[in-house]
Amino acid sequence: MKARGPADEGTVLAGRRGAGPFGPGFTFTNSGHGGSRRPRYKGPSRRRRRGSWRLVLMAVIVVAAVAAGLVVISRRPTRTATPPTRARHPVTTTTLPVVPPPSVSTALAPFSLPVPIGQALVLPGTSTQLLVVGGEPVSGPPAKGAFLVGTSGNGLHLAATLAAGVKDASGLVLRGQDMVFGGAGPSPSSAVQTFTAPSSGTAHGRAGTAATTATTATTATATGSMPGPRAGSGAVKVGATAYVVGGYDGAAADARILATNDGSTFRVAGTLPLPVRNAAVAAVGGQIYVFGGEVLVPAAAASSGASKAPGKHTHGSRARPVRGPAKVASRATSTTSTTAAVHPIPGWHPVADIQRFDPASGKAAVVGQLPAAIEGAVAVTLGGHIYVTGGRGPAGTNGQVWGFEQQVGRVVVAGALPTPVAGAGATVMGNTAWLVGGRAADGKLIGSLQTLRARAGAAAATPTSAPSSRTSSS
């Protein structure tokens, strides 16, 4: 064997690329150490490196395209195949017009009370008698008597004597008993006085005895107490529950709406957005509505609000037209400053707000405006419609009868009183509403009785912008 020399080191033993046992790119060299052969990696060629980069670039492009496609598909709305159906008739939505309440016929009864009276509570008695409770006489303290007055002018009979004389009280017939809530005598009271007036049969939910003479008069007893004193409130019944709304305690208006089922225990059912006294209160369709009333402007609020610009507030002495639903939010926290901006003089001032209370939800809101700020009006429900009449404001004593369109929160002119009056007592018997007493436009107490009846098929007129205090008849 030929001996190797230094010149033999590094000699290529297998020279053609790719021919060795280790695949392409390997060559064998003589390491010069014991004659062993060691493979040496030279790396891929330039052409092969270019091909690898192309593959990587294509893979990146494909991945990016797939990702973009998935994003586009995810943002498209999902469409589901709808099987073919038969053609249907087009569905049309029709808004039913608001039907105005019927107009009313009014009349002055051919008889009067023996003495003038104001701020009396009037309840239904028998089918032919009214029950007139308490009230303000021409002179002296509030009246203590509850009298049955014949609707045909057939006399007046004492039915009960109150434990304490009151005026400006609210009340109703609950569980067959006549209940009087609070009232002023002379200061506001929290007492609930209850009695059962003698009556013929069980008319109007009462279960009395069949007698109507002075010898059968009963005595009222204090059977309960409201959470606080209250006068100038209104009482209505929704279902089997009585609600006492509005009023004041001698210092300020009370916003709490009280509910009772027995006249002895009360709960707070809600809160008025605008606390008022001497408002007109009525219920229809399970909803309770409060019309106008008076708010108290403290001296501090009056002085701070006097500098505000007029004409930007919902309260005021100027009459305003009612053109549709009023967009007025609840102002429970801004009542004082808003009212003071229009009434810089401290004290009680009338408002035009119409408030609604829903007993089912316990929520109350301002839903409209009367044509003018007014207090001392009455509200009655006839044939499923509420009518508001009487009362006084800066424009004088109201002689108009307004029919209320509760769907849109506005009133329309439905008639006129024979004698404009404020502070009258009112109740409904059958299809007739009765107004008893009150103060006429000249400020004097009267003992007149006036009636309202809805006219079948006669719609009320367009909205009014100013109440009339002139004496009229129809």
Condensed to tens digits (0 to 9), the pLDDT of residues 60-118 reads 787 777 776 665 555 555 554 444 444 444 544 445 567 789 999 999 999 999 999 99
Condensed to tens digits (0 to 9), the pLDDT of residues 137-195 reads 999 999 999 999 999 987 889 999 999 999 999 999 999 999 999 999 989 999 999 99
Condensed to tens digits (0 to 9), the pLDDT of residues 360-377 reads 999 999 999 999 999 999
The residue type found at 432 is T
Structure tokens at 218: 């009963």
Checking if the pLDDT of 16 tops 90, the result is no
The residue type found at 140 is G
What is the structure's pLDDT at 197? Answer: 86
Beta bridge partners of 28: 14, 39
Strand order in the sheet with 432-436: 102-112, 448-459, 432-436, 425-429
Structure tokens at 136: 């303000």
Condensed to tens digits (0 to 9), the pLDDT of residues 236-251 reads 999 999 999 999 999 9
Angle at 396 between CA 166 and CA 408, to 5 degrees: 90
pTM reported for the whole predicted model: 0.72
Of 237, 295, 288, 260, the residue nearest 190 (C-alpha):
260
Structure tokens at 372: 């003018």
According to the per-residue pLDDT averaged within each range, which of 58-72, 89-103, 343-357, 421-435 is highest?
Answer: 421-435
Of 252, 296, 245, the residue nearest 270 (C-alpha):
245
Checking if the pLDDT of 435 tops 50, the result is yes
Of 346, 337, 275, the residue nearest 312 (C-alpha):
337
Residue with tokens 């305003």: 320
Of 415, 368, 372, the residue nearest 397 (C-alpha):
372
Domains of the chain listed by start with CATH number: 9-58 (no CATH), 103-459 (2.120.10.80)
Q: Are 421 and 440 in contact (CB under 8 A)?
A: yes
Structure tokens at 46: 């330039």
Q: CA-CA distance, 241 to 178, in Å (whole number)? A: 14
Q: Are 190 and 246 in contact (CB under 8 A)?
A: no
What is the structure's pLDDT at 126? Answer: 85
Q: CA-CA distance, 192 to 101, in Å (whole number)? A: 35
Mean pLDDT, residues 322-349 taken together? 49
Residue 305: in which H helix or E strand, if any? helix 299-305
Mean pLDDT, residues 38-56 taken together? 60
Q: Identify whether 186 is preceded by a cis peptide bond (ω within 30 of 0).
A: yes
